Amino acid sequence: MVVVDRFSKYATFIPCSPDVKVDEAARLFFKNVVKLWGIPKSIISDRDPRFTGKFWRELFKLMGTELNFSTSFHPQSDGQTERINALLEQYLRHYVSAHQKDWATLLDVAQFSYNLQRSESTGKSPFEIIMNQQPNTPGALIAPYEGPNPSAFNFAKQWHEEQDISRACLEKAARRMKKWADKKRRQKEYEIGDKVLVKLLPNQFKSLRKVHKGLVRRYEGPFSIIERVGKAAYKVELPQKLKIHNVFHVSMLKPFHEDKEDPNRSETSRAPTGVVTKFDRKIKEILAERKIRRRGVPSHSEYLILWEGLPESEASWEREDVLWQFQTEIEKFKESATGTLRNRVGEGVTPQK
């Protein structure tokens, strides 16, 4: 867990497991941050389920802290922390052992070295802003050591070497990231009602995690802009089938240009996003419909399909979302089912005088 003070840029690196529970994450935050600096007035974080869950929200509501979340799949919204994450990752990648079990022991030196670096935006290091001075650092060691405790010398020597290496590595990574940060960035504004194409990432959909990412369509749409959120994000009107957050950073959008001569050009015969099933057979008849409800899983509809060329004994239940090729047949079935229900309701009813 990486925590960065927006004013001083002071960073705190907290080791924890990827599957840490929300109550344990809160305990680590209080132990490493609140205990030293107090309750923050506001927090900007990513949309990790631990931070968007009821426990975390209610906890900091009780503490009087305002919670803000970055735009979905756009980590630059919390760019300060994400930049430090990248720096820390590069440092650990160079010095972690092959089994990768000692990364937590490297965090102390990395945190100390990072907070010694002077920021270009403030002209001071985080230590100088908080303490009004740079802390003392390990001095040069005289070798060979002939004192009474070689183990103490080895400990100091290891800390000294790790601190020098980490500072050099972090400074090099910072220069590299600064060089490429704004190379491809562009500013674009949209109005409510504008049509846009949305960049949907494969890892947003469980069904696409096993397919080749390079062959997945990069943009979907067109969709309408329904609201502006902040200075660089927009709320988009997405189909109900896309169960994802509908606020996107401007970098995830691009304008849709309709073909005036052929308005149907934007329509596609490919499967909708998130669907990897396509049928080569035709439907002969839809026999029945059922609603599947399970605890913890969104409900969905299934249809009993009788395929052409197959006997009724081989009819199969199929989810509605994979029957995207047969929307006309589904609509007809729903209309006939509604009409039949109305007729049944009307049977045996005597109109009142």
Backbone torsions φ then ψ of 3, nearest 5 degrees = -120, 130
150-180 and 107-114 are packed helices; what angle lies between their axes, rounded to 10 degrees? 60
| Six-digit token string for 268 | 């596609």
Q: Which residues pair with 236 in a beta bridge?
A: 225
Contacts of 126 (CB under 8 A, 6+ apart): 5, 8, 9, 10, 11, 114, 115, 119
The DSSP secondary-structure symbol of 139 reads: P
Q: What is the dihedral of CA 168, 171, 175, 180, to 10 degrees?
A: 100
Report the pLDDT value the prediction gives residue 76, as an integer from 0 to 100. 53
Q: Are 252 and 186 in contact (CB under 8 A)?
A: no
Residues of the chain with pLDDT under 70: 71-81, 94-95, 97-99, 120-122, 138-146, 158-187, 201-217, 241, 243, 263-278, 338-353
Residue 246 CA to residue 196 CA, distance in Å, equals 13
Report the pLDDT value the prediction gives residue 168, as an integer from 0 to 100. 65
Q: Which residues pair with 255 in a beta bridge?
A: 196
Report the pLDDT value the prediction gives residue 79, as an integer from 0 to 100. 56
Classify domain 2-180 at the CATH superfamily level. Ribonuclease H-like superfamily/Ribonuclease H (3.30.420.10)
pLDDT tens-digit map of 200-212: 765 555 555 555 5
The structural domains of the chain, with segments of one domain joined by +, span 2-180, 195-266, 283-342
| Six-digit token string for 115 | 């907070």
SS3 content of the chain, % helix, strand, coil (to 5): 40, 20, 40
Q: What is the pTM of this model?
A: 0.49
Residue 8 CA to residue 116 CA, distance in Å, equals 12
Other Cβ atoms less than 10 A from the Cβ of 21: the count is 12
Topology of domain 283-342 in CATH is OB fold (Dihydrolipoamide Acetyltransferase, E2P) (2.40.50)
H or E element, residue 80: helix 79-95
Residue 261 CA to residue 249 CA, distance in Å, equals 31
